[in-house]
Amino acid sequence: MSRRKLTADEVELWRKVAKQAERLHPEIPQSVHPVTLPKPKPNKPPKPRFEAFEVGQNAAGKPVRNALKPSISENLRTSPVQMDTKAFGRMKRGKIKPEGKLDLHGMRMDTAYPALTRFILTAQASGKRLVLVVTGKGKDRDEPGPIPTPRGVLRNQVPQWLALPPLAQAVLQVTPAHISHGGEGAYYVYLRRPR
């Protein structure tokens, strides 16, 4: 798009307005002609650098993992330790025996949540400190589709439920269980002492 040039009438009008106007900065030299700006140069986006690729050739580099966020297990492993570190280490190695167990295999979310709430609050009220919640690893989806779906609905949902009220006030630490107690398909839930 080219700029329109000023007509003689517009230039004359500008000069009249400029003579009558009071200057804000008198130290700057005065110009009676309006300044015409140079045409802006179009910015060309840089060309992407792609290497030649032929059908049947393997792509170079590591395969891209289709995950939008870290897994629940990774989040739990990197979360700070809230309990005694020595007891936490023994718990992670499977050396502490859980005092109660809840198996959520085969349950749907609408039945699993009340069962989990009832189990955790009852366990805390009875003075238990370490319980095991078994969720299972979950099923692989038949067709993954364009949006990545985490494997195991309950496996991903249980740690979130434990971090929200009314269970958050009862739970001190959540971590994936040792392989002897179910591994990735179960969680140790270390409870606070009842007040």
SS3 (DSSP) at 137:
coil
pLDDT band at 18 (very low <50, low <70, confident <90, very high): confident
- CA 49 vs CA 46, 52, 59, 64: distances in Å: 9, 10, 15, 19
pTM: 0.60
What pLDDT score was predicted for residue 80?
87
What pLDDT score was predicted for residue 145?
63
What pLDDT score was predicted for residue 37?
63
Q: Which sign, positive or negative, has the C-alpha torsion 71, 73, 77, 82?
A: positive
Cis before 166 (ω within 30): yes
**What's 86-136 look like in SS3?**
HHHHHHHCCCCCCCEEEECCCCCHHHHHHHHHHHHHHHHHCCCCEEEEECC
Please determine, for residue 97, whether its predicted confidence score (pLDDT) is greater than 80.
yes
More confident residue, 143 or 174: 174
pLDDT band at 36 (very low <50, low <70, confident <90, very high): low
Tell me the pLDDT tens digit for each residue of 52-82. Answer: 767 777 666 555 555 556 777 778 778 888 8
- Domain layout of the chain by residue ranges: 72-139+150-191
Q: Which sign, positive or negative, has the C-alpha torsion 121, 92, 70, 142?
A: negative
The single-letter DSSP state of residue 180 is G
Distance CA 161, CA 156 (A): 9
CATH code for 72-139+150-191? 3.30.1370.110
pLDDT band at 195 (very low <50, low <70, confident <90, very high): confident
What pLDDT score was predicted for residue 30?
63
Of the candidates 162, 153, 150, the residue with the CA atom closest to the CA atom of residue 187: 162
SS3 (DSSP) at 85:
helix
